[in-house]
């Protein structure tokens, strides 16, 4: 059996194995978009290239046989540059939205289309998990948020955006009304303690996510009850106090401790809190320059100086967010700050470099033409926007009716698309080789899958699967050069071409060009 070395690690593989097989045996993650186990290599994406000693050119690891004594390098600057270029060329030709426009305009970047699909399927537990992954107080925001996501909704180009805020409220209300409201899983206790000054939306959200990380949290606030501006500024008519209390109760159940009636600057200072804390979060709302010496940081008219991505201040282990650092007065932004602060604090407590939350690279279609809009509308209900009278929430029937208006313009594989995952890993620039965008087209005729040819990288995996399944029509490459795409012969429909193996094709597709509905 051949014995070779990859990145100075020796490995033995069976006869006929490839360099990619050997790399995977060593646990090395080499991007192979056009390769599928059990199938012959295509060598079309060229993202899996490696450097083999004695060979001048880089070679695709998926199609290069492992040889005894072979010396392979998989992570040189030359190799990484070649992979990055291959990925950037594919990204430049990609027609699709990694994240829907509504998700992009939501300050919390919540996965709105996923929530809508779960609500429509009656999966209330799944819907609240999706919501609370990014929003700690959804029942609150479902009543007072100005809903910038609705202005970003692509459906607004036709008639009116979806009632996203009410759909979110439906998920949150149903959860709070259940016998056992959702409690996210928490990691084992870290032994670390975080002090949070301010029990408003930023502080509550920070505690919600820090507690999930296994960190103990104590919130200090000068008021008698937690909630900050949500309780003492927003009217009870807009935000019923029982709703606010119910969401705070969830945070209490996770283990948050509250010390109320404690005024920062009078009863405690940052220096005092630091003595009993592993990290400090300043979430105390708008600060006035006069009387802010207790913070230990110079305060300007704009607020506390803090890094806008990591929320770190100049004091080691002290983070700040919400209205304390910027005058937004938007609860949704304050709640988002709390989640992002929690990520930075978690990194700090783990002794890692504090970089804040990571945002994956994303491709965006941008402005769509009327014909493209009609493509999106083809799979959605033609009903007008539904808004209940008198500020009431949506019923389950109304939720399904309103959700059916969604154009589902997000990617069905946002976290598993190999092009996005590896493009992100290699720091690929989405627009480096971007030319004139091809028109957006989607085929919805198949009962099980959606096909968007603009995302196809012509890897040929679906063609082979269809051939092995002995599909009567199957699939074929149509067009030439950069215009080649997968289609059904004789201009027939996707449903005609894939009668038995559609799901297998969708599961094998590396980019979400074919995806299960």
Report the distance separating Cα 83 and Cα 100, nearest Å: 27
- The answer on pLDDT for 395 being more than 80 is yes
Distance CA 332, CA 142 (A): 10
Which whole-number Å values give the CA distances from 71 to 28, 67, 83, in the listed order? 15, 9, 19
Same domain, 71 and 122: no
Contact 78, 71 (CB under 8 A): no
**Do both 299 and 244 map to the same domain?**
yes
Kindly report, residue by residue over 444-464, the tens digit of the pLDDT. Answer: 999 999 999 999 999 999 999
Provide the 3-class DSSP secondary structure of residue 220: strand
Burial class of residue 137, CB neighbours in 10 A (0-12, 13-18, 19+): buried
CATH number at residue 382: 1.10.1060.10
Range with top average pLDDT, 36-40, 284-288, 394-398: 394-398
Residue 185 structure tokens? 């899983």
Mean pLDDT of 107-122: 95
Residues 512 and 457 in one domain: yes
pTM for the full model?
0.92
Same domain (yes/no): 279, 222: yes
CATH number at residue 268: 3.50.50.60
Let me know if residue 360 belongs to a domain.
Answer: no
Q: What is the mean pLDDT of residues 211-220?
A: 98
Q: Is residue 279 part of a domain?
A: yes
Question: In the beta sheet, which residues pair with residue 72?
Answer: 6, 52
Cα 509 to the chain's mean position, in Å? 20
The model's pLDDT over 313-372, given as tens digits with 9 standing for 90+, comes to: 999 999 999 998 987 778 999 999 999 999 999 999 999 999 999 999 999 999 999 999
What is the reported pLDDT for 38?
85
* Burial of 485: CB neighbours in 10 Å, binned 0-12, 13-18, 19+: middle
CA distance linking residue 454 with residue 441, whole number of Å = 7
The answer to whether residue 427 is domain-embedded is no
Among the residue ranges 66-70, 284-288, 354-358, the one predicted with the least confidence is 284-288
The H or E element containing residue 476 is strand 476-478
Q: What is the pLDDT of residue 288?
A: 78
Same domain, yes or no: 109 and 156: yes
Q: Residue 299: pLDDT above 90? A: no
Residue 80 has pLDDT above 80, yes or no: yes
pLDDT > 90 in the chain, percent:
88
- How far, in Å, are 141, 463, 474, 476, 496 from residue 489 at the CA level? 50, 11, 7, 6, 10
Instruction: Specify the pLDDT at position 434.
Output: 87
Computed over its alpha carbons, how large is the radius of gyration of the chain?
26
In a domain, 416, yes or no: no
291 pLDDT more than 90? no
Q: Where are the beta strands (DSSP E) in 274-417?
A: 279-282, 318-320
- The whole-chain average pLDDT of the chain stands at 94
Domain, as residue range, for 64:
3-92
Considering the domain architecture, whether residues 215 and 316 belong to the same structural domain is answered as yes
Residue 387's pLDDT is what? 82
Count how many domains the chain has. Answer: 4
Start-to-end CA distance of the chain, whole Å, equals: 44
Distance (Å, whole) CA 250 – CA 241:
14
**44 or 111: which carries more pLDDT confidence?**
111
Same domain, residue pair 237 and 308: yes
Contacts of 461 by beta carbon, 8 Å cutoff, 6+ apart: 34, 36, 39, 42, 505, 508, 509, 510
Residue 261, φ and ψ in degrees, nearest 5: 75, 20
pLDDT tens by residue, 145-166: 999 999 999 999 999 999 999 9
Domain contains 342: no
Starting at the edge strand found earlier in the chain, the sheet holding 3-6 runs 9-12, 3-6, 71-73, 49-52, 59-60
**277 burial type by CB count under 10 A (0-12 exposed, 13-18 middle, 19+ buried):** buried
Q: Does 186 reside within a domain?
A: no
Instruction: Report residue 225's pLDDT band, with 50, 70 and 90 as the boundaries.
Output: very high
Do 206 and 305 belong to one domain? yes
Distance CA 449, CA 406 (A): 17
Residue 483 pLDDT exceeds 90: no
- Contact present, 416 and 476 (Cβ < 8 Å): no
Q: Is residue 411 part of a domain?
A: no
Looking at the fold, whether 203 and 317 belong to one and the same domain comes out as yes
206 and 238 co-located in one domain: yes
- Is 294 a residue whose pLDDT tops 90? no
The confidence band for 15, taking pLDDT boundaries of 50, 70 and 90, is very high
Here the CATH number for the domain that contains residue 496 is: 3.30.70.20
Q: What is the pLDDT of residue 418?
A: 97
pLDDT of the residue at 407: 95
DSSP 3-state assignment of 135?
coil
Is the pLDDT confidence value at 482 over 90? no
Residues above pLDDT 70, as percent of the chain: 100
Question: Of 327, 353, 374, which closes a domain?
Answer: 327
Identify whether 207 is part of a domain. yes
**What is the token pair recorded at 79?**
């190799």
DSSP count for the chain of H helices, then E strands: 19, 14
Which CATH number is 22's domain given?
A: 3.10.20.740
Q: What's residue 476's pLDDT?
A: 95
Same domain, 69 and 105: no
Position 406 scores a pLDDT of 97
Give residues with Cβ within 8 angstroms of 502, minimum separation 6. 446, 448, 449, 494, 514
3-state secondary structure 5-47: EECCEEEECCCCCEHHHHHHHCCCCCCCCCCCCCCCCCCCCCC
Q: Which of 274, 300, 327 is the last residue of a domain?
A: 327
- DSSP 8-class letter at 157: G
Last residue of a domain, one of 280, 306, 327: 327
State mean pLDDT over 127-146: 97
Beta-sheet strand order (sheet of 216-221): 257-260, 216-221, 193-197, 279-282, 318-320
Same domain, 82 and 13: yes
H or E element that contains 218 = strand 216-221
State how far the Cα of 103 lies from the Cα of 36, in Å rounded to an integer.
32
Average pLDDT over residues 289-308: 83
């Amino acid at each position: 059996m051949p014995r070779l070395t990859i990145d100075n690690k020796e490995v033995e593989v069976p006869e006929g194995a490839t360099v990619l097989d050997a790399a995977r045996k060593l646990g090395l993650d080499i991007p192979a978009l056009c390769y599928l186990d059990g199938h012959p290599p295509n060598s079309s994406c060229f993202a899996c290239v490696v450097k083999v000693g004695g060979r001048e050119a880089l070679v695709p690891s998926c199609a290069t046989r492992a040889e005894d004594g072979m010396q392979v390098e998989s992570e040189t600057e030359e190799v990484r540059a070649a992979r990055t270029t291959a990925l950037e060329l594919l990204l430049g030709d990609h027609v699709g939205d990694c994240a829907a426009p509504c998700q992009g305009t939501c300050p919390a970047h919540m996965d709105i289309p996923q929530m809508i699909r779960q609500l429509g399927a009656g999966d209330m537990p799944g819907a609240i998990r999706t919501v609370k992954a990014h929003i700690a107080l959804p029942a609150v925001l479902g009543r007072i948020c100005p809903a910038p996501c609705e202005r970003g909704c692509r459906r607004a180009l036709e008639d009116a955006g979806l009632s996203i805020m009410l759909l979110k409220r439906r998920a949150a209300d149903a959860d709070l009304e259940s016998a056992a409201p959702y409690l996210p899983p928490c990691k084992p206790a870290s032994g670390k303690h975080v002090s949070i000054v301010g029990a408003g939306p930023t502080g509550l959200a920070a505690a919600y996510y820090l507690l999930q990380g296994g960190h103990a949290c104590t919130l200090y606030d000068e008021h008698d009850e937690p909630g900050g501006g949500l309780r003492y500024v927003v009217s009870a008519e807009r935000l019923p106090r029982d709703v606010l209390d119910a969401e705070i109760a969830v945070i209490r159940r996770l283990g948050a401790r509250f010390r109320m009636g404690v005024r920062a600057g009078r009863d405690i200072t940052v220096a005092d809190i630091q003595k009993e804390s592993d990290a400090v979060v300043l979430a105390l709302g708008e600060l006035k320059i006069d009387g802010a010496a207790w913070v230990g940081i110079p305060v300007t008219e704009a607020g506390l100086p803090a890094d806008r991505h990591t929320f770190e201040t100049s004091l080691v282990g002290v983070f700040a967010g919400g209205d304390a650092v910027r005058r937004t007065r938007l609860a949704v932004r304050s709640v988002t700050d709390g989640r992002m602060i929690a990520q930075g604090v978690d990194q700090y407590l783990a002794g890692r470099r504090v970089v804040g939350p990571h945002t994956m690279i994303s491709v965006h279609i941008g402005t769509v033409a009327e014909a493209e809009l009609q493509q999106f509308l083809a799979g959605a209900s033609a009903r007008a926007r539904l808004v209940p009278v008198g500020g009431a929430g949506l019923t389950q029937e109304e939720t399904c009716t309103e959700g059916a208006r969604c154009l589902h313009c997000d990617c069905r594989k946002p976290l598993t698309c190999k092009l996005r995952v590896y493009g992100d890993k290699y720091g690929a620039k989405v627009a480096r080789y971007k030319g004139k965008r091809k028109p957006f087209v989607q085929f919805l005729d198949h009962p099980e899958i959606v096909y968007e040819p603009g995302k196809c990288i012509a890897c040929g995996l679906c063609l082979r699967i269809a051939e092995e399944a002995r599909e009567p029509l199957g699939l074929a490459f149509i067009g030439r050069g950069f215009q080649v795409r997968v289609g059904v012969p004789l201009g027939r429909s996707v449903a005609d071409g894939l009668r038995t193996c559609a799901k297998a094709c969708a599961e094998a597709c590396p980019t979400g060009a074919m995806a299960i509905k």
